[in-house]
């Protein structure tokens, strides 16, 4: 196995006799390398002061500013346009205008319902927009620029041409530029070029926006800002709240396309049929024709989908969860594997130094000074080095003459110092099992500490320069630095939630596998007692996927391996979520089905993630999962209601055309039925709690019950209508026939609601009973009978209608049983 150096060359793993160990001393004096940051300055020696305030103002006046708008949501005009100007609103609006011309206003009630529904959709999306815009401001990246010699974080849109933008690990380049200063600056351009290896940058090299820093630091001069910068479009697309394709939305679009195909020829036939049957009364023919077309349109389905998503965004926003792409709510509900980075996810970002264990006869005071100097040598230390710098602030007098920042690929950092006595030496701090050869006695002690869930770093000395590809070869160990990680108090409960919901949690970390397993074990993660060293994983995708299915905890994972692991899991049909906050997680976050970043994470991780937890709380994830399941499960329920209505409306129209009889209903009848059996119940069901994991094949799952239910309802209703036509005699029997058919259709549609509302809760039972009571009030109230033109005549046919509805209910139950038990998902 080889490991890449900062320059990209491969070097073999260190070998040698572990017993041939030398003790640490001051070492011989060696020539210094090129000057870099003096300890504590935060930037390279001789760095530029950046633009002056006057120069910034001049550039702003010339329009040379990074003024590309980064939107977190659709504009108000786009929201109104998307909700008002729809295909079905145009159809319903046209039919509404026709009714205003030919009929009483009660036959145009469906038009007012559409107006109310559209208004509700607009209001809910505007609420979601305000929430998202507010959260986007909170989570917006603020790059650091140097002006008048001072480093200041500013909004991305405030960068001007020529600004000196500082970079550190995890920072994303938001504009194009040229490197002005570099201190071991390594930039990953894989999101732009596809090249996995980071590129070591030197002054004069080009920086592309959209790339991010994986190690080191520096600064670059902005050469292209605003819409001219390549990164401007990338940054806008990465952080925009979008209504992009998803299985739920694409499924609904397919359903609407099928409905349109059915509706157009059926409507034409119905128009011709009613014109012929009602030739003596063209107004009545038009009303009956409109009544047949309107219920074919599942107009509320799209509305309720948008409302459900919008309310989900608002609910999650209250928990400081920024949803950068709408389908992310849906996607996380479909996840069956969640990959967790240990640091920042299971553990808090900070660490504490638990012990310093000198090796051999090394002087502890001397080691403390070395650690203090290492801590001061990095202007942007990671959590481990920050804890060491706080614990050992005694590195004064040591001058850093060369440094190699920590990299997740190398798993060590290095710096060369001229000590206070004039001697020079290189010190390395990193993973013991990377810096030491296999079988070294020190590794046994390291293993015992790892098993306790502690993080162990090796402080070692080398004769080579920090950026020498062989710097980690034949090092002299000086001490083990033992760090104690702070477990997130809510991590254990969150892992138990995933286990209960049958979502497999995989911990993948760059730390030692045994240590990661011990941490996961403390949190009660099943399978944590058998951690896997990722360096032993097979490289072939299928075999890697098998190993991932068997294991739970993986250590010593490189950033590229994290990406490969996500791909391997996806190749086995898993829907994968990846959580992380570090620059080493970016590639995996980008490739995962759902990327989840912590708000305190690096700018690069926040840019590629679909969900950002602004409160940095891992415990928010169950809320996101639950919200997604609520949306998908409930939309599946209400879609069945809407499409059952579409199917029975089409069947009734076809039967009427073939039989050449008047259409049995007026628009007011079907508006009443739709409101009581679909509209009002669907609104409540769409917003109800639902923890069932989302399943694939949305269209098939909806249609497999909506089609038989609609056929049963349509056939039973038409049978009642024909019986009523034979039973009632006289010139004005159509209202009595219509009332009888309406009773049958209401009872059948109500029973569909009874089935869809399962499993029952008290409020669902009350909802069904309230809808039944509403219809009963209309039937027994004289002025409502007149308004809706509904009056049951006699007792024989009404009870016949009830009997037919009862038989249809039995058929509905049988169809439901077949669908649930016999047909696959």
Which active-site residues does the annotation give?
341
Please tell me whether residue 504 adopts helix, strand or coil conformation: strand
Distance CA 470, CA 537 (A): 25
Helix, strand, or coil (residue 760): coil
Planar angle of CA 563, 566, 572, nearest 5 degrees? 145
Tokens of 529: 């007692």
Token pair listed for 437: 């050869």
**Cβ atoms of residues 631 and 330 within 8 Å:** yes
Distance between CA atoms of residues 653 and 650, nearest Å: 5
Helices 109-139 and 76-84, interaxial angle, to 10°? 150
Dist CA 167 CA 183 (whole Å): 10
For residues 92 and 294, give the distance between their C-alpha atoms in angstroms, rounded to a whole number: 7
Burial class (CB in 10 A: 0-12, 13-18, 19+), 153: exposed
Token digits of residue 488: 């997130």
Report the alpha-carbon distance of residue 22 to residue 475 in Å, rounded.
Answer: 9
Residue 458 CA to residue 455 CA, distance in Å, equals: 10
CA-nearest of 752, 747, 753 to 765 is 753
| End-to-end CA separation in angstroms for the chain | 45
Pairing, β 2-4 against β 199-200: unpaired
C-alpha span between 217 and 565 (Å, rounded):
29
Three-class secondary structure assignment of 618-685: HHHHHHHHHHHHHHHHHHHHHHHHHHHHHHHHHHHHHHHHHHCCCCCCCHHHHHHHHHHHHHHHHHHH
Question: Strands 337-340 and 504-508: what pairing?
Answer: parallel
- Count of C-beta atoms within a 10 Å radius of residue 272: 12
Q: Around 287, how many Cα atoms within 13 Å sit in the side-chain half-sphere?
A: 23
The sign of the dihedral angle between the CA atoms of 451, 588, 610, 152 is: positive
CA 426 from centroid of its chain's CA atoms: 44
CA-angle at 655, arms to 652 and 659, nearest 5°: 140
Instruction: Give the C-alpha separation, 32 to 37, whole Å.
Output: 13
3-state class (DSSP) for residue 695: coil
Position of tokens 């509404």? 96
DSSP secondary structure string, 552-563?
SEEES--HHHHH
Under a CB-based contact definition with an 8 Å cutoff, are residues 760 and 814 in contact? no
By the 8 A CB rule, do 216 and 205 touch?
A: no
Contacts of 709 (CB under 8 A, 6+ apart): 640, 644, 647, 752, 812, 815
Q: How far apart are CA 295 and CA 279, in angstroms?
A: 24
> Would you give the DSSP letter of residue 693?
P
């Amino acid at each position: 196995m080889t490991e890449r150096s900062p320059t990209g060359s491969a070097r073999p793993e260190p070998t040698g006799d572990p017993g041939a160990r030398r003790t640490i001393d001051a070492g011989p004096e060696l020539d210094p390398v090129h000057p870099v940051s003096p300890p504590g300055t935060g930037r390279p020696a001789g760095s530029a002061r950046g633009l002056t305030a006057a120069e910034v103002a001049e550039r702003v006046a010339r329009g040379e500013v990074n003024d590309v708008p980064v939107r977190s949501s659709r504009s108000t005009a786009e929201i109104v346009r998307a909700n008002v100007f729809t295909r079905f609103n145009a159809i319903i609006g046209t039919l509404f205008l026709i009714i205003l011309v030919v009929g009483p206003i009660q036959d145009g009630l469906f038009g007012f319902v559409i107006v109310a529904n559209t208004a509700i959709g607009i209001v809910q999306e505007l609420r979601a927009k305000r929430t998202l815009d507010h959260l986007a401001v909170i989570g917006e990246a603020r790059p650091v620029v140097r002006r008048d010699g001072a480093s200041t974080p500013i909004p991305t849109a405030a960068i001007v041409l020529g600004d000196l933008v500082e970079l550190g690990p995890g920072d994303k380049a938001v504009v194009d530029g040229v490197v002005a200063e570099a201190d071991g600056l390594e930039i990953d351009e894989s999101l732009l070029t596809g090249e996995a290896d980071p590129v070591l940058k030197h002054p004069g090299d080009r920086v592309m926006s959209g790339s991010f820093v994986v190690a080191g630091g520096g600064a670059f001069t902005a050469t292209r800002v605003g819409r001219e910068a390549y990164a401007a479009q990338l940054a806008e697309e990465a952080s925009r709240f979008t209504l992009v394709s998803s299985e739920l939305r694409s499924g609904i679009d397919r359903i609407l396309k099928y409905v349109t195909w059915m509706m157009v020829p059926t409507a034409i036939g119905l128009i011709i049929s009613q014109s012929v049957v009602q030739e003596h009364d063209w107004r009545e023919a038009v009303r009956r024709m409109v009544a047949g077309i309107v219920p074919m349109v599942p107009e509320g389905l799209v509305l309720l989908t948008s409302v459900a998503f919008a309310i989900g965004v608002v609910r999650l926003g209250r928990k400081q969860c920024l949803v950068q792409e709408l389908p992310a709510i849906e996607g996380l509900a479909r996840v069956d594997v969640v990959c967790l980075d240990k640091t920042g996810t299971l553990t808090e970002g900070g660490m504490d130094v638990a012990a310093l264990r000198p090796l051999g006869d090394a002087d502890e005071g001397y080691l403390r000074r070395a650690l203090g100097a290492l801590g001061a040598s990095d202007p942007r230390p990671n959590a481990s080095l920050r804890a060491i710098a706080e614990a050992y602030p005694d590195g004064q007098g040591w001058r850093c003459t060369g440094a190699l920042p920590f990299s997740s690929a190398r798993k060590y950092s290095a710096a060369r110092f001229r000590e206070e006595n004039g001697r020079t030496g290189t010190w390395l701090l990193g993973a013991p099992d990377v810096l030491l050869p296999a079988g070294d006695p020190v590794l046994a002690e390291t293993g015992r500490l790892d098993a306790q869930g502690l993080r162990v770093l090796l402080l070692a000395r080398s004769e080579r320069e920090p950026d020498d590809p062989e710097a980690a070869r034949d090092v002299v160990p000086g001490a083990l630095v033992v760090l104690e990680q702070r477990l997130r108090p809510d991590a254990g409960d969150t892992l138990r939630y995933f286990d209960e919901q049958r979502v497999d949690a995989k911990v993948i970390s760059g730390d030692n596998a045994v240590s990661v397993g011990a941490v996961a074990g403390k949190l009660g993660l099943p399978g944590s007692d058998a951690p896997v060293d990722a360096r032993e994983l097979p490289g072939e995708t299928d075999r890697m996927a098998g190993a991932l299915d068997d294991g739970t905890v993986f250590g010593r994972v490189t950033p590229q391996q994290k990406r490969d692991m996500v791909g391997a899991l996806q190749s086995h049909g898993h829907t994968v979520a990846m959580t992380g906050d570090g620059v080493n997680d970016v590639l995996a976050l980008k490739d995962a089905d759902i990327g989840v970043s912590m708000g305190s994470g690096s700018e690069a991780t926040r840019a590629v993630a679909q969900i950002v937890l602004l409160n940095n709380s891992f415990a928010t994830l169950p809320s996101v999962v639950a919200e997604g399941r609520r949306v998908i499960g409930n939309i599946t329920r209400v879609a069945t209601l809407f499409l059952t209505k579409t199917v029975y409306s089409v069947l009734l129209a076809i039967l009427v055309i073939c039989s050449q009889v008047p259409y049995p209903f007026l628009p007011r009848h079907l508006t009443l039925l739709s409101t009581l059996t679909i509209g009002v119940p669907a609104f409540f069901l769409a917003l109800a709690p639902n923890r069932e994991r989302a399943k694939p094949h949305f269209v098939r799952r909806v249609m497999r019950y909506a089609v038989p239910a609609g056929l049963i309802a349509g056939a039973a209703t038409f049978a009642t209508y024909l019986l009523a036509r034979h039973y009632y005699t006289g010139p004005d029997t159509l209202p009595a026939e219509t009332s009888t058919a309406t009773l049958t259709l209401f009872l059948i549609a109500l029973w569909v609601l009874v089935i869809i509302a399962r499993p029952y809760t008290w409020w669902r039972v009350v909802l069904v009973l309230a809808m039944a009571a509403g219809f009963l009030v209309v039937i027994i109230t004289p002025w409502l009978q007149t308004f809706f033109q509904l009056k049951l005549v006699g007792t024989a046919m009404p009870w016949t209608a009830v009997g037919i509805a009862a038989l249809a209910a039995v058929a509905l139950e049988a169809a439901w049983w077949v669908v649930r038990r016999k047909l696959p998902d």
